[in-house]
Every structure is written in structure tokens, then in C-alpha cells.
Amino acid sequence: IKLSSVQLARKYMKRVASELDELSGPEKEPAREFLILQGVRFAFRVHQFAGGFDAESMKAFEDLRSRIQAPQVAEEDSKQPET
């Protein structure tokens, strides 16, 4: 059951990552935040239940994390005043 849960979490994180790629623009930000929250919440619960992730699931989680951080870095760069 634990292995199947980890596999499901991996597929879910990959699905969330692909959905995030399709959502762009400021009007889509609430939907992006909701997807991120749901993906991370589910991944955390599975991680706690299964006692950790396998290598593939960890890679999917890192990929999801990088997609979350990339827009934030771009926003911070655009907010900095030019000198």
C-alpha cells in the first residue's frame, strides 16, 4: 500500500507540474496557488504515511519545487528598481 501511495503521489506531482506549465498570467495566479497547495499537501501526507519518497518521487517533488521557485525569482527580479 505504501509503495502504491508513493507512486500515486509521484504521478500527482507530475500532473500538477504539467498543469502549472499551462497556467500563466496574473489572472491565473489564484489557480496556480491552489494547485501548488493541493500538490504539496498531498505529497506531504503520502511522505508521512509511507515514511519517505523513492528516488523518482523525490525527483518529481524537486521538479515541482523548481517550477514554484522560478516564477518567484522572475517576479523579484522585475520588482527591483533599476539603477
Copy the grid coordinates of residue 21: 506549465
For position 38, what pLDDT does the model report? Answer: 92
Whether 18 shows a pLDDT value over 80: the answer reads yes
The reported pTM is 0.74
Residue 71's pLDDT band (boundaries 50, 70, 90)?
low
Cβ atoms of residues 66 and 19 within 8 Å: no
**Phi, psi for residue 76 in degrees, rounded to 5:** -65, -40
Cell triple for 42:
498531498
Rounded average pLDDT over 27-44: 89
Is residue 72 pLDDT above 90, yes or no?
Answer: no
- Cα separation, 53 vs 63, whole angstroms: 14
User: For residue range 52-67, what is the model confidence (pLDDT) as tens digits?
Assistant: 999 999 999 999 888 8
> Is pLDDT larger for residue 67 or for residue 44?
44
How many residues appear in the chain?
Answer: 83
Question: Over 90: is that where the pLDDT of 14 sits?
Answer: yes
